[in-house]
Every structure is written in structure tokens, then in C-alpha cells.
Amino acid sequence: MSVTTALKGPEGLCRSYGQAMLDRDGRALAAHYLFPYISFTLGHVHSFEDRATADAACADQVARFGRAGVGTDIRLVDYRVEPVSADSALCHVTWEVFPVDGTPGWSWTNVYGYRRRGEEEGFEFNISDQEIGELLRRFPDFYSL
């Protein structure tokens, strides 16, 4: 499933993903994924086999940010695209968060694997060690909330 009917390319997909985060919309975030989608984080591997699973997980993650005191003011501040082939790229996406609980904000960079498959495109994987490592350093109970 493509994010839109018109292909955006990796740069446009990065910008659109940033907007979905600003909109605090888990379903819109999941709309940027190709399935199966795989997440590599701190030596753990997690996957979303389909859109319904990704929708639920992304909506829950956005809600968890609110419950934990992190808040949802998470902004795309930069991205860099490294082409791998005509239909794939590595997207280094830098985010910044401004927690609502008074914790000082911070930034991190995730790497997303972009893929175009005919008339569909999206991210098929991410590496999020910086994001989750920094989050758990500041909010160690994040995943128990």
C-alpha cells in the first residue's frame, strides 16, 4: 500500500513522516511503512506483519509518550538520504523532543530503509538505538506504562 497515489520519493516520505509525527497520528505514521516492517532496536528485532498491527502499535506508542510524561511534541529537525539503488535508500532522520514534564529535550537520529516497489513506496525497516536508548535513560519505566 502506498502512502499516497503519487510517489513522494525518499525525501518527500521523510517530510511526510515528520508531519505525521507532528500531527500525533499513529495511523498516519504506520501509513509510511511497507510490510513486513522490521524494527531493529538495541539488539532486539520487532516486526509489523500488516497495516492493522502497525496502526495499533503506532497509536499505542503515541499514547504512551503522553502517559509517560514525554509528551508528543516530537519534531523532525533534519534528514539525509543516501541512495542505495534506483529503488532504495537509507534515510537518516533526526528528531527532537520537548517533554511536557520538565525533562530537558534531546535529539536523536534513526535510520529508515526506504523502498519503492512499483507504484508503492515506504519504509521497510528502521534502526532506532539512539531513540530508545535516550528515551529509556530519561524515562526508565516508559514501557511499563
pLDDT at 7: 81
Grid cell, residue 8, equals 513522494
33-41 and 120-127 beta bridge pairing: parallel
Quick: pLDDT tens for 59-90.
Answer: 999 999 999 999 999 999 999 999 999 999 99
> What span, in angstroms and rounded, lies between the C-alpha atoms of 139 and 119?
40
Top-confidence residue, 145 or 74: 74
Cβ(132)–Cβ(45) under 8 Å? Answer: no
Enumerate domains of the chain plus CATH numbers: 9-144 (3.10.450.50)
Residue 10: all three cell numbers together: 525518499
* pLDDT above 80 for 8: yes
